[in-house]
Amino acid sequence: MRRISFVSVIIVALLLGSCGSPSNPTQAPAAQVTQAPAAGATKAPEATEAPATGAVAGRLSLAGSTTVQPLAEVLAEAFMDLNPGLAIEVQGGGSSVGVTSAGEGTVEIGMASRAIKGSEFEKFPDLQVFTIALDGIAIVTNPGIELSSLSVEQVRDIYAGEITNFSEVGGPNVPITVVSREEGSGTRAAFEELVMEYKDAAGATQSKLISERALLQQSNGQVRTTVATTPNTIGYLSFGFLDDSTKMVAIDGFEPTAENVKSGQYPIARPLNMLSKGQPTELAEAFLSYILGELGQTIVAQDYIRVN
């Protein structure tokens, strides 16, 4: 089986990790560095032609982010259709589970819907990170709430419990009920980095905590259902879970769209990652090559933002 090569995917305005300012998703990839990546770095294999039909056989296991899970399941079904001798099992558990499962080698591929922490690279120095898609995080409200736009600062203060009535941000005079993901969620971790962190007057990074009064949910789907059915609620959702059951809110005047994420105008966005312990196995390489190729990226583009 032909080996694929690896390149770094550099993303602007998507990661606010410990390594500093994020980079632009539209930039050409840079050459791969063979040593362990810096904290927050992401890499992806170069897109190559998918393996010939029926050329791949065996078993492949994935676990991790419940955001990446549905996308991975669709990609796995499509790849197995091309390779009937291949069985791919995809499980959830959250981004932290994905990092640990990949780092310990209990699965061939882990899944994370956030940047990888420096502490995780220290614990799993062989961890390899492959960005397969870009995803925006949309702010949504119950359909009964009318809001034209919010700033990132206003969203931060709402989630910190400092703004408690929609009238304070141009909405109706009703109390705000905040809906959030649980601890360990990749969507929550990305939201905390992209929204709850900020620079103080001295330029130091500070962070506000999500209010203890927030209604915590175990998945994007549960957040969507709760916001859709509970009056006066606000929540955040991965772009892949948006539908007409909730009302999307513009951020700084920019709608949550793929085009606005790519242009850098919509600020709340992140990478969707797959992970391996060191060099991926041949089966994992073949699957990653398919995902980063034209067929896989066409599937990615149905709900998310392609990287190739």
Confidence of residue 115 (pLDDT cuts 50, 70, 90): confident
Q: pLDDT for 174-228, tens place per residue?
A: 999 999 999 988 889 889 989 999 999 999 989 999 999 999 999 999 999 999 9
For the chain, what are the domain ranges? 6-135+271-300, 136-269
| Tokens describing residue 76 | 């796995």
Contact 249, 139 (CB under 8 A): yes
Asked if residue 46 has pLDDT above 80, the reply is no
State which CATH number among 3.40.50.1970, 3.40.50.970, 2.40.10.340, 3.40.190.10 fits the domain covering 136-269: 3.40.190.10
Angle at 278 between CA 275 and CA 280, to 5 degrees: 65
pTM of model > 0.85: no
Contact 215, 161 (CB under 8 A): no
Angle at 8 between CA 80 and CA 13, to 5 degrees: 105
Superfamily (CATH) of domain 6-135+271-300: Periplasmic binding protein-like II (3.40.190.10)
Give the type of residue at 305.
I
